[in-house]
Chain A
Amino acid sequence: MTTDDSAHSDQVLKSLIASAQGDSCSPNLSAKILHRVRYEEEKRRRQSRLLFSAGVLSVAAAAALSFFVSSARQSIPVSPERQADSAAVQPPPPALPQLCANPVVAEGRVPLFDDFEDQDARAPQREGRRGLWELITDRDMNKEGPFPAFPQLLPEAERTAENQRAMNIAVARLRDWGASLEYRFQPEHCYDASAYLGMRFRAKGGTRLQVAARQPEVIPVANGGSCETDCYISHLKLIDLNHEWTEYELRWEDFIKRGYDSKALDPSRLHSLQFAVQSEDTPADLWIDDVSFISADEE
């Protein structure tokens, strides 16, 4: 690039920047925002008052119940079992988001999640796992995605009688948030995988892979989660994949959440698993196989 070219580029860029600095929003947006902030603030205040009232009512009800039980004890002889029942009266548990109110519970007996030998996008339906592997990249923004992801034949030299296929993420240079292979355990419920200790899989690709165990709290409401703001900040682990097939083992405590909230992952409230490649690590061609939970027996 000559000096003249360079100067011209600089000049053009400055002109573009100047026009961007002159861009502005509609004049009434400020009023709309403040109105919405006040509305949300009022909504929160009302909810707090409701919660407070509910708390007072619960305490009153518990006191009344306790009074009733102690009166009954004085007047009616009760067996030891009945006494145990009355002692078990507890205040109601805190309300859970609807998705996790009735989670599908894995018993911890079938750790193999998917060996990708069945050629379809659905993982074997074991222990209530009823999802579909899906692949989406930032290039799919204007297409009908996400797309079911199908296992691919391994390169011929790597195929054996027992292992013919694996999941392949092959993407060209991406420029936004990258590519994501995802599996949602259940369409309408959380998945309780706390019977297991974590997950393992084999992979190769010589690139950086982000593995996330996602709770509904990080998935936007529109995509089946309960997140309203600052979504997709998941519990995750970054792995620099080898070029050769390697087994990786991740315990639940290896999944770390960054950002405002660093609470540990709760494996009893899983929404989905994600294998993602960031745009800066593309182009990429990586393989994933034999995804499995880690059984508690292995401890």
Chain B
Amino acid sequence: MRSEDSSKSEAQESTIEDLVRLYLQHVYRVLRRAGVREADCDDVTQEVFLVVARRLDSIEAGKERAYCAGVAVRKASEYRRALARRPQLVQTAIPDKASVAPTPEESAASQSQLRTLDKLLAQLNEDQRTAFILIDVEELSFEEAASALGVPSGTISSRLHRARSALAALLKTSEGKELGHDY
């Protein structure tokens, strides 16, 4: 019994290692674009993979990326709510890299573009933003995104369509033009 337990544990560990290796950057980017501050993103990423590790047995083969994305989306939403309930976090948080002037070592253009994108995404509603992040940024298929969010793929398609239209309109508005100066 003891050896069975220990071999199962080893098998799980190697699988979680695989998932971390394959999807760490993906999860991190979903969290960042979904509004998790850079100073908190390492912690929230860890929480995502703790959930994934605990639920390893229930993840369907071939749907690992969608599963990780779904957990990341929920964690980001939970994070935003917790932040809203705990304003002291905002006051004491280490300033975002995106919110201060880039250092010479940083890629100024890239940081500026990320800042611009985040400002634009912040103006979408949560559903549209999530669809855009998963499909256009992370390049999940419609089926994967639908599985991650637990909605039909037609819903994803319409949310994405509205997100793209809204972003195009924002880029055209005076606010969008102002944002556009960043790059």
Binding site for B on A (CB under 8 A): 1, 5-6, 9-10, 12-13, 15-17, 19-26, 29-30, 32-34, 36-38, 40-41, 45, 136, 138, 140-146, 175-177, 220, 222-223, 229-232, 260, 279-280
Contact = CB atoms under 8 A, between A and B. Distances in A.
Nearest to A227: B78
Contacts of B47: 229
Interface residues of B, number: 61
B83 A141 contact: yes
Contacts of B123: 175
Given A33-B46, A177-B81, A25 B9 contact: no
Given A25-B42, A38-B13, A141 B24 contact: no
A33 B148 CA distance: 22
Contacts of B41: 25
Interface residue SS majority, chain B: helix
A177 B126 contact: yes
A27 to B, nearest CB: 10
Given A30-B24, A280-B125, A20 B33 contact: yes
B140 interface: no
Given A32-B42, A33-B45, A230 B127 contact: no
Contacts of A232: 77-78, 81
A279 B126 contact: yes
Contacts of B109: 19
B54 to A, nearest CB: 8
B136 interface: yes
A37 B33 contact: no
A229 B171 contact: no
A175 B126 contact: yes
Given A36-B50, A175-B124, 18 more contacts: A9-B168, A15-B113, A19-B114, A21-B137, A23-B32, A32-B46, A37-B50, A40-B50, A41-B9, A136-B84, A138-B80, A140-B84, A141-B87, A144-B87, A145-B85, A220-B78, A232-B78, A232-B81
B114 A23 contact: yes
Nearest to B77: A177
A21 B168 CA distance: 19
B69 interface: no
Contact of A16 (B75, B78, B117): B117
Q: Which 6 A-B pairs have the closest CB atoms?
A: A19-B113, A25-B28, A16-B117, A9-B168, A141-B84, A37-B53
Contacts of A9: 167-168, 171-172
A26 to B, nearest CB: 7
A231 B74 CA distance: 9
